[in-house]
A and B are shown apart, each in its own frame.
Chain A
Amino acid sequence: MNKLLTTAAVLSIAVGASTVAASARDQVQVSGSSTVLPYAKIVAETFGETYPNFKTPVVESGGSGAGIKEFCKGVGEDTVDIANSSRPIKESELKSCADAGVKDVQEIRIGYDGIVFATDVKGPDWALAPKDIYTALAAQIVVDGKLVANPNSKWNQVNPALPDWDIAAYIPGEKHGTREVFEEKLMTSGCKTTGAADAIKKLGLDEKAAAAACVKIRKDGKAIDIDGDYPETLARIDANKTGVGVFGLAFYENNADKLKVATVEGVVPSTETISSGKYPVSRPLFFYVKKAHLGVIPGLKEYVDFFLNDQMIGPDSPLVEYGLVAAPDAERKAQRDAFSAGTTMK
């Protein structure tokens, strides 16, 4: 026992000592959005295979907000080089970045992501519009010119063209970047077209409170927040065949044998309709690069260049095949030019 203890103690000291001799980081470290993760993974993997002299970048997953927080911790080898994000960085986040010494941040838009509604594959065809979504899922709607708590319990009460199904919508939870797009593109727009926005304003709320009231989702169990990822939403649809779920376009395309997609304002979501702007519910995807790390971390500049290459995000690239919607040619070129010119965010 004596010897065993001594050996264990010696080993633990050795392990501790090896930290002191920590060598310089030789691979790119990325954090951030789980929506961007699949794309970043494809790029990281291909990058590692194409450049045998660089290690494959490490891509963490933890959400846009958490990723940007890590990104803004400061400059140095123990901080991440890139933050992936499914939404633009906020003023406040940029400020906390600058306070921690991360003054030069380069913003890169990689393309677009579509958000789709889907039901079980055996269900009928669905044609939705923002006002249907609003009338079905909002906490308060306008009935006979008055604002009342949402009385609808079936989809065909919302719109006679929709099936006679109980309302059960699985929507992204509040921590998701997707939720913001859902609120902005569907709830706010539905709020305006149904006239609820005016009714809310009449209550005497200021603009901010009125906007918040517009995107308020009903809490009576008919709209269910999914805090996990899309596989959880798929499992819910599997269990409840009359449920409607919100998915990313790429996830839907990978599971098209189990899901049927709904049209929004008569447009079928696809990479074509999203890049042309016809399909209304889409959002840009970003990543942010720490300029101070370029040239310090081996492979960082090459990784970003590789990511921006048309081989990766062009119209006929592996990312588009996975489900990314490519940005127009001019925009991709502008992103490349801005990165090589070293344009930083103000």
Chain B
Amino acid sequence: MTDIALNPAAPASARPARRDIGLKRRYAAERRFKLYGITAIAIGLFFLVALMYSVFSNGYTAFWQTEVNLAINLDPKIIDPDNKRATDPNVLLTANYPILARNALAEKLGVPTTNKPAMRELGKLFSEGVRGQLRELVVANPSLIGTTQSVWVLTGADIDSAFKGQIDLTVDQTRRKVSDQQVEWMNKLKGEGAMSQRFNTGLFTYGASSRPETSGLGVALIGSLYMMLIVLCLSLPIGVAASIYLEEYAKKSRLTDIIEVNINNLAAVPSIVFGLLGLAVFINFFHMPRSASLVGGMVLTLMTLPTIIIATRAALRAVPPSIRAAALGVGASKTQMVFHHVLPLAAPGILTGTIIGLAHALGETAPLLLIGMVAFVANAPVTPLDPSTALPVQIYMWANEAERAFVERTSGAIIVLLIFLAVMNITAIILRRRFERRW
């Protein structure tokens, strides 16, 4: 300020008094806006964390399942009382295997097998799934009959829930599914180290079941995999071909405008509408089988096509016209220009769009309801024509179950689905990072 007073002729003094340009107000507005942004992100993050917390805190236990180690005597007198197994293969299939496990458990706990009420209680400690487990063991190797095998057997679902502390054991025993006697046995086995939690491989291999301990995502995983393959194989070529034609070849006319509006509309149509369409066209008209992942895949293809077409057209449009002009300039035909130059440059964008479309399709349940895929399917599908379910469908069905043990399984299945989605989205990001070109 003193400078100005000393040098009145200096150019600085010629500057007029500063206009009020609202600097303070504008800075304040900027700070306010930043604050709004941070609040918005914080709200989003809060719900994300809350979702993740509720899913993971409920679901992580589903990856461990309580099992009990039994020394099972594969008694030929019980498996094959009439000694006919050499001539009749059905003997080994229909034998009363659960009784073997029950006897082994009774021996371990020192309960006489003549005590019928105690045997009933004891029988609920382990899962009915032991029938299939021992049958497989014996049928694969009949020479084991007569020997004693140490086998880890799944416990019943209620015992599993009690072991994990999910059943309130302080209420009166008539109000809960496990009796005091069973809890006592459970604690005894736990103390001896014969009952413990082991990794639940069954969650990924078993099909649907009415018993929580033997129900898994096996059928749903295969069904979802088939559907994703079908969606990829159908929607990528159709979507890319449609967009290349619309973007590179078609002349702009009223017709292409109408098509464009319709594609954008279709992308926003509720997915249940595609389910209705699939029911009417694929099942009722073409007589394809119900509950098959092929039909599911085709319905989801219809649903993902608009997304892929829109993403592909955007990717094609992002390739600069100079590339096209240069290709044509050195004598390339239009098709050569598209396939040798434009498409490879647009590929990362197309792939990202496709993967996001696939991830969207992976999470859909509504269109599958009408084509019979929201169903109880116990046998693993071999071809896409066999009945199957899908991951989100399995989550929906488990969420509606009455048994306590399905609560953790529902969240466990959500974790599996989230991991799938994360892997797909990360792939999309990596593809974009690696191959994207900027101009």
Contacts and interface: CB of A to CB of B under 8 A. Distances in A.
B327 interface: no
Given A27-B379, A61-B375, A254-B177, 8 more contacts: A19-B385, A38-B401, A60-B291, A61-B397, A78-B287, A254-B403, A257-B175, A257-B176
A231 B290 CA distance: 28
A78 B402 contact: no
Contact of B376 (A18, A37, A70, A78): A37
A130 B153 CA distance: 48
A78 B290 contact: yes
Interface stretch (A9-17, A329-337, A338-346): A9-17
B175 A121 contact: yes
Contacts of B233: 8, 11-12, 15
Nearest to A10: B233
Contacts of A55: 379
Contacts of B339: 1-2
Contacts of A76: 287
Given A49-B131, A58-B387, A257-B171, A15 B294 contact: yes
18 contacts: A8-B232, A8-B237, A12-B234, A15-B234, A18-B383, A22-B288, A44-B378, A45-B210, A55-B379, A58-B291, A61-B375, A61-B400, A70-B372, A78-B290, A80-B290, A251-B402, A254-B177, A257-B168
Contact of B171 (A5, A19, A121): A121
Nearest to B372: A60
Interface in A47-91: 48-49, 52, 55-56, 58-62, 70, 73, 76-78, 80
Given A12-B234, A18-B384, A231-B399, A44 B376 contact: yes
A31 B210 CA distance: 16
A70 B370 CA distance: 9
A29 B291 contact: yes
B374 A22 contact: no
A23 B385 contact: yes
B387 A5 contact: no
B99 interface: no
B225 interface: no
Interface string B361-381: 000000001001011111100
Nearest to A52: B93
B343 A22 contact: no
A22 B211 CA distance: 32
A19 B288 contact: yes
B400 A59 contact: no
A34 interface: yes
Interface string A170-210: 00000000000000000000000000000000000000000
Contacts of A15: 230, 233-234, 294, 384
Nearest to A228: B400
A201 B168 CA distance: 51
A1 B344 contact: yes
A27 B230 contact: no
B215 to A, nearest CB: 10
Contacts of B294: 15, 18-19
Nearest to A78: B287
B132 interface: yes
B404 A255 contact: yes
A222 interface: no
B289 interface: yes
Given A1-B344, A19-B294, A257-B168, A78 B289 contact: yes
A1 B234 contact: no
Contact of A42 (B210, B237, B283, B374): B210
A40 interface: yes
B312 to A, nearest CB: 13
Interface string A110-126: 00000000000100000
Which interface residue of B230, B289, B378 has the most chain A CB atoms within 10 A? B378
Contacts of B384: 15, 18
A165 B402 CA distance: 27
Contacts of A61: 374-376, 397, 400
Interface in B397-426: 397, 399-404
A48 B378 contact: yes
Question: What 4 pairs between A and B have smallest CB-CB spacing?
Answer: A56-B378, A59-B376, A60-B375, A254-B402
B285 to A, nearest CB: 10
Given A8-B233, A19-B294, A254-B177, A60 B374 contact: yes
Nearest to B377: A58
B278 to A, nearest CB: 13
A251 B401 CA distance: 9
A250 interface: yes
Contact of B210 (A38, A121, A251, A258): A38
B91 interface: no
Contact of A5 (B177, B237, B385): B237
B264 interface: no
A256 B378 CA distance: 29
A251 B208 CA distance: 19
A78 B288 contact: yes
Contacts of B397: 61
B51 to A, nearest CB: 16
A38 B402 contact: yes
Nearest to A31: B372
A306 interface: no
Nearest to B350: A1
A289 B427 CA distance: 48
Contacts of A56: 377-379
B176 A78 contact: no
B284 interface: yes
B147 interface: no
Nearest to A2: B339
B431 interface: no
Interface string B170-200: 0100111100000000000000000000000
A228 B384 CA distance: 31
B27 interface: no
Contacts of B290: 29, 60, 78, 80
B236 interface: yes
Contacts of A228: 400
Nearest to B211: A45
A337 to B, nearest CB: 28
Interface in B201-241: 208-211, 230, 232-234, 236-237, 240
B286 interface: yes
A70 B168 CA distance: 42
A58 B376 contact: yes
B130 to A, nearest CB: 12
A102 B102 CA distance: 48
Nearest to A11: B233
Interface in B133-152: none
Nearest to A70: B372
B314 interface: no
